[in-house]
Structure formats: structure tokens, C-alpha cells
Amino acid sequence: MARTNNGDLTAVRQVGRMLDAAFDGRIDMSDFESNSEEQRKKAFRSRALAALAVRMVTGWQNTDAAEAVIDGRDDQGIDAIAVTSSPPHVYLVQAKWSDQGRATARTDAILKMFAGLRLIDGEESSQFNPRGQLLAEQAKEAMSEQAVGVTLVTVLMGAEPPSREVLNELVNGEREFNTHGDRVDHRFLHASDVWNWARADAAPAPVAMSVKMDPWFSLDVPHQAFQGVVKAEQVAGWLDTHGTRLFELNIRNPLDGTLANEELVATLTDEPSLFWYFNNGITVLCDTVDPLYDSMRNPHGGPVVLRLSGASVVNGAQTVRAVQRALESSDDPATARVGVRVIATGGATDFSSRTTRATNRQNQVGPRDFAALDPVQAEIRADLRAELGKSYSVKRGELSPSPETGCSLDEAATALACAHPNAEYAGRAASSPNTLWERGSKETYDILFRPQPSAFQVWRSVVTMRLIRNELHRLRPTYEKLPAAVLEHGTYLMCHLVFRQLGTDRIDDPDLDWESDFLPQVPAAVGAQLAALVDVLEKGYTSRVQGLLSDPDKCRELAAKVAGLGATGGDTAGLVDRYGKQTQARKRRRPNAVPTLVDHQAIKEGTPLRFVSMNSIEQEALADWLAEDDRRSRVTWVNDRTKPLLWEADGRRYSPSGLVTLMWGQARWEERPVSNQGTARWQTSEGATLAALAFALQDGNAESD
């Protein structure tokens, strides 16, 4: 996929970031110590680009590729020299970096490369700088003793093809050296080649694994496939070895803590001999499969060992995880048998996608799960990593990154809906999260993700939405009556109104300092838009606020009327005068949060949650202990009224407050409080705590009463 041209700097930024990360400290820049930072950076990236070109043509690692760079004084027109042994070859590299993606091949540079090659061929390596001299001697030795070929590699951070003059100089120079056979050739690497290679290099390596089946049978057409019985111990080993990479093509990762998965573990532990009968089995897709038979004369008379490349479990992720969990606590499940089907796709992506969908029609698989298969989400994840160094969790069951390191697909979709110019999409998100995944040219998902939003648009939308929500939460205790209801139920519309007031015209601009120029305006904008929305509601709406603010059509109507009040919003001071909370009235005791959430089925089983400290003192006290093992901050939700949290650190279930107390003790926090509000410390990927979710349900019921 070529994304770079003279007008698109996306690939340039991503490649630059990758070069900085890969070669910082590995490239000798001592000759630029007295130069400006800008000059030094440009020279570094040019040299790092030469090192990357060496990696691309040789397959070497970063350190070895950096050692091949000789750019500097007395480089004789050559930026890097790489001599390979298997197969034997010599590469002479010249690199041209451009921050604008406009580097082009020039005839004078080609002439210099050939002049450098003549020095090497003529054993005049002493004219090179010290590192160049050593590498030039190695190149000459290979050229003389092994008669290896030489390739002149020109790597350009630009898209323009070489001119006719450049090609003529290459032909003339090669003719000089190819009198007695084709020994010298050339190769161009443009920005799109570099960008594609860098993205592929950053992607997880394909899973290669073996599967032993006995008994088994096979099919050869239209796709090679095997189905048979596999020992549970072997299945657990797959996950031990490969981790979640095993589920790369699956619509979701294992969902620990669901009742269905608990039953799988119970069967494996208590009745392992019956597991094969009770379980639907596992489907594995792979690029290729290489079967090894016990006997060629009678292959079905014994087991078969399948060597898979590019393997992924597309159905049965829950089974794989259940087997691993059962074996962690007992050896008995090792005797269990699991049905496994292996299908070789030959790299047919459409067939792989159709198979994944077809094998996941059960167990509450919905449009949200299938969104994980959309190639656009893989592109966004790669862009976020390359542009901003941020993580992006796509699959349901995959724990969301911590707020400072990334976001989830759910959070990104919600933020994009709120930031969309049409308030209807914020209303859709408020009415039901499921609307975010509806497909079609006029449906929410395609509106938000077609065309693909950039990494800057996604991340800035998310961080802005987070800040708006924090401000809404801060204001909630200061108001009563109508503004309080808006703050409680109008999160999505309020986010939309703030996005619209501040403007998102430059949200894609990488040169804009979003954190300094945009985010500081958010608190004032929240107050102004709250006042404006309350003004509109006071003048013509008598329906329940919760219903109004979750109706897409009403949200669009309200947003239009708020816009009619002016760009600056409403009178914040007047709102405080009318609705500011003066005294704290005595309230009846709220029902417990956990039973409320369970009774309303507000959280799906298996939903991942993350621990968040309520204040800086607690955060500082637990920071080192949590950093020792990231599993300590992660749980999954189980719909149980007493112990709904399955702690990843030990696989046991706890109440929210009970687990927090246990964590405080294990962290040896000596000045810990006597009690805690555990439901305020466990947060979903969207940033809502258990307490906040329960309060919203309780307030909604109270209003309806």
C-alpha cells in the first residue's frame, strides 16, 4: 500500500519516528556535535535511512545495519557498505532523506557512487574514512575471491521515479563493470517501499506451531483441512508459547470470568473424560500446513503431526483459555481430549474472513466483534503505533491500554461519534453502544470509519472526550435539578457541543500542539455549552431529560438550537445563580452498586476492567507494586451479586471493595484507610467506574418513579 506522495506526509512522519526509535544511539553522529539540532536531526535520519535500507536488502538486525553506515567525511559518495555471506553479495547504499517526502535521485549522486565503486574495485580503500576503509576492503575481498555481484541501492524519502538522465548514468556505469558478465546492478527504494517494510516489520511475527492429532481425517479440496482429536495438555501449550498472538484473526480474545467459561473449567477439572463430548472444539486457520505421518503406507493408522505456519485460532479461544486455566490448578485435565479442525487457507484473506464469521455465529457474537475483522481497524492500530507510539485494543476481551498509553476501539468510536459535525451520531451513541457497530453507507460505523480517520484524529478525539467527561464529572456535585440531570445523562451531547464550539478543523494537523492550544479551552467551553443547553431545554422541552439526550433526532434538534444562541454558548454565571447547589440535602441511601449492575445486566460477562487510584496518595503507594505485575491492575466482570471481579493476578473472584483491601495489604501500604469504595476504583475501557454506572441506573429509575 503506497501512501506517500509529495502531498502526503503521513508515511514520512511514521518512518521518521521509526528511524529515531530503531537507530538512536547506534549511528555515529560525533561529526555533527557543533551543528544545530535541526541539521543534526536531518543528518541522523539520512544515515538511519541508509541503515534501514541495509536491513531491507540483507535482513540484518538494527545494530549490524547501523555498523554498515559510513556516511560522513571521505565516504566517497557511499552512505553504507554491506557485505553478506549467505548468499554472498555486496550492497552499496546511498540515502536521501526529506522531511517533506520529496527526495529525488540525482545524476551527480549516481556518478559519485560509481566513483566510490571504482575506488573499491581498484583497491584504493585508503581514500575512505576509517570505517569505510574496513568495509571497502571486505567488499573488495568478496568481489575478487568469490566473484559476487554488487547492487547499488538508492533509498529516497520521496515518491518521484528516477529521471531518464539518472537511468542513463546507471546504464553507462553498469556497462563499464559488466563487460565480462552481469556483476553490477541497481535498485531503488522509495518512500512507499520503506513505509510498507517498516509497518510489516513492526507487525507481530506469524505464529508457527505443531498440532498432533490422533485419530484424524483430512480433506484436500477446495482447501486442505484436517480434523481430529488433540490432548488438552497440547492445547494449553499453544497459549503458553504464543500468548494472545494465537488469536490474531479471531474476532475477540478469551473472555475470562464468564459463566460459560467457568463451566468449561469445571468440566475439565471434574469430568475430563467427558470434555470432548460437551465442547464444540477449536478451529485453526493457517497459511500452510505440512503433515508428517507415522507411516506413509498407512497414514491413518497412527497420529499425524501438522506443522502450521501463520496459524490463528479463529473459533474456540474460550476453550483454549479454559484448558490452560484448568491445567494451572490440576494435572487431571491433561487427560482430556479436544476436537480440533485445521484449515490451510493459502493466504486467501477473503476465505479466512468468511470462515471466521461462519464459525462464530453462536455465544452472543455481535457486530462489535465483527468490527475487529475490519482491515481499517488494523490500519488505525498501525497508524497509532507508528505516528504516536500509542496502543489500540480492537478485540472484545482484550484489555484496554492504560489511558496514557492508548485507547480501545469502543472509546475511539464513541469519541469520533461525539466529534462528528452531526449531533445525531452522539445521540446514537447515547441511545445504545450497539448503534456504533451498525454497517452500511448511512449507518454509524461506516460514517465514523469511512474514510479511515487518521491517528491524530482518533487520539485527539479520545483525549478531548476524556477531558470533557472529567469536567462534567467535576461539575456534577455543584448543580441541582435541570443542569444536574444534563450532567448525569447528557455526556455524549455535551461532548459534541464542546467539540463544535472549539472546532475540529485542524484535528488532523500534526504541527498543531493540541495539548497546549486546544485542551486548555475545554473547561470553559463545557460551562458555556452546559448553560446554553439548559437555556434551550428550559424554553421548550418538558420531557424527561434522559430520554431527550439519548434520542438521535432530539440531539440534532437541540444542537441546532444551541448553535443559534451563538458561538460562545450560554451564561455560566447565570446558571450558577439559578441552579447552583447551596446546601446538601439529606438523601436516602443508595442501593449497593454491584446488585444494581447485575440486576440490570449492565455489564457483559467477561468485560475487562482496570484499577484506577482515587487520589495521588493511593497512586503513589501502589505504583511500584502494580508495576511489578500488570495483572494486578486487571480484572474481568462476572455477573455475580457478591463476588463479580475475577482477578487476573490469582484467578480468584472478589467483591470490588474486598479486592481493593487485599491489594492494599499486599502492597504493604501502611497508612491505608480503614475502608474503601471499591466500585469507584474499577473502570471500564470507556472510562466509566462501576459506581458511576450504578448511579446512572439508580438515578434513571428514581426519575421514572
Q: Which of 76, 78, 2 is nearest to 46 (CA)?
A: 78
Alpha-carbon distance of 598 to 639, in angstroms, equals 5
Torsion of CA 661, 662, 665, 667, to 10 degrees: -110
Q: Which string of DSSP letters, residue by residue, matches 437-502?
A: G--STTSHHHHHHSSPPPHHHHHHHHHHHHHHHHHHHHHGGGB-HHHHHHHHH-HHHHHHHHHHHH
Position 585 pLDDT exceeds 70: no
- 641 versus 53: the higher-pLDDT residue is 53
CB 287 within 8 A of CB 248: no
Place of cell 497440547: 234
Alpha-carbon distance of 219 to 588, in angstroms, equals 67
Looking at the chain, the domain(s) classified CATH 3.40.91.30 span 10-202
Q: What is the pLDDT of residues 565-574, one digit of tens each?
A: 887 788 888 8
Cis (ω within 30 of 0) for the bond into 130? no
Confidence (pLDDT) at 257: 52
User: In sequence order, which residues have a C-beta less than 8 Å from that of residue 271 and are 6 or more positions away?
Assistant: none
Q: What is the pLDDT of residues 114-165, one digit of tens each?
A: 999 999 999 999 999 999 999 999 999 999 877 789 999 999 999 999 999 9
Alpha-carbon distance of 698 to 705, in angstroms, equals 11
Q: Which of 452, 424, 370, 2 is nearest to 199 (CA)?
A: 2
Helix (H, G, I), strand (E, B) or coil at 434: helix
Torsion of CA 233, 234, 236, 237, to 10 degrees: 120
Residue 25 binned pLDDT confidence (cut-offs 50, 70, 90): very high
Q: Count the alpha carbons within 13 Å of 342 in the hemisphere toward its beta carbon.
A: 28
Confidence (pLDDT) at 254: 62
Confidence (pLDDT) at 6: 35
Alpha-carbon distance of 125 to 136, in angstroms, equals 6
Q: What is the pLDDT of residues 126-136, one digit of tens each?
A: 999 999 999 99
**Amino acid of residue 121:** D
Confidence (pLDDT) at 584: 44
Q: What is the pLDDT of residues 484-538, one digit of tens each?
A: 999 989 999 999 999 999 999 999 898 888 988 889 999 999 999 999 999 999 9
Please give the CATH topology (third level) of the domain spanning 10-202.
Restriction Endonuclease (3.40.91)
CB 102 within 8 A of CB 158: yes
Cis (ω within 30 of 0) for the bond into 451? yes
Exposed, middle or buried by CB within 10 Å (0-12, 13-18, 19+), for 37? exposed
Residue 2 binned pLDDT confidence (cut-offs 50, 70, 90): very low
Position 23 pLDDT exceeds 70: yes
Residues facing 609 on adjacent strands = 635
Any idea how long the chain is? 705
Sign of CA pseudo-dihedral 111, 113, 115, 118: negative
Confidence (pLDDT) at 359: 67
What percent of the chain shows pLDDT beyond 90?
54
* Residue 51 Cα distances to 55, 75, 178, 425, angstroms: 6, 15, 27, 47
Q: What is the pLDDT of residues 38-72, one digit of tens each?
A: 999 999 999 999 999 999 999 999 999 999 999 99
CA triple 657-659-663, angle to 5 deg: 115
Rounded average pLDDT over 669-691: 85
DSSP tally for the chain: helices H, then strands E: 29, 19
Rounded average pLDDT over 179-190: 92
Confidence (pLDDT) at 3: 43
CB 644 within 8 A of CB 593: no
Alpha-carbon distance of 129 to 122, in angstroms, equals 16
Q: What is the pLDDT of residues 247-279, one digit of tens each?
A: 877 655 565 555 667 788 888 988 999 999 989
CB 305 within 8 A of CB 210: yes
Q: What is the pLDDT of residues 307-357, one digit of tens each?
A: 999 999 988 888 998 898 888 888 888 889 999 999 999 877 778 777 777
Q: What is the pLDDT of residues 424-483, one digit of tens each?
A: 999 999 998 889 998 888 899 999 999 999 999 999 999 999 999 999 999 988 999 899
Average pLDDT, the chain: 88
Alpha-carbon distance of 423 to 497, in angstroms, equals 8
